[in-house]
Structure 1
Amino acid sequence: MNKNSGTNVEARIQQLEETIAHMSRLSEELNEVIARQDAEITRLTQRVEMLWRHAAEQQADAESGTIPLADQRPPHW
């Protein structure tokens, strides 16, 4: 193995190490984004459920004997 060949191997190893470091950092950043999105989706789902309950309660108070809004199919179904 000549000196030039050893230098090429070292350069390739260094490039691979840099690529792995970049991908590790990117993976951590994406994991943080996913964790934030999961928390936001959970929060928004709870709000939507609360709003559906509130709307159904208001409709039940206003119109006795009708189907609650939460149990109705959307008009496009």
Structure 2
Amino acid sequence: MPQEPQDIQDLQERIAHLQRAVDDLSQTVARQDKDIALLQYRVQLLMEREAARESDGGGGVILGDERPPHY
């Protein structure tokens, strides 16, 4: 039984909408991939900076119940 022209047109419209949705999702994933890469780079920089600070002996954390070293 052949499909009627309206059925074919409906299917073509649905495919067009699905293709648009896939393209939108692809763009979103690409943008998120770039964002994640940037965040990973920044975290790495922070980790390296903190490691350097710890190896220099500076940057000690003074807790509320500790006296500062000048007392």
Q: Same fold (TM over 0.5)?
A: yes
Superposition RMSD in Å: 1.8
Structure 2 residue aligned with 1:60: 55
- Unpaired segments of 5 or more residues in structure 1? 64-77
Cα shift readout 1:7-41 (whole Å, capped 9, x = no counterpart): x6111101100100000111110111011000000
The number of equivalent residue pairs is: 58
Deviant stretches of 4+, over 4 Å: none
User: Take 1:19 and 1:42, find their aligned partners in 2: how far apart are those partners?
Assistant: 35
User: Take 1:12 and 1:49, find their aligned partners in 2: how far apart are those partners?
Assistant: 55
Identity of counterpart residues, as a percentage?
A: 36
- Unpaired segments of 5 or more residues in structure 2? 59-71
Give the structure-1-normalised TM-score.
Answer: 0.69
Give the structure-2-normalised TM-score.
Answer: 0.74
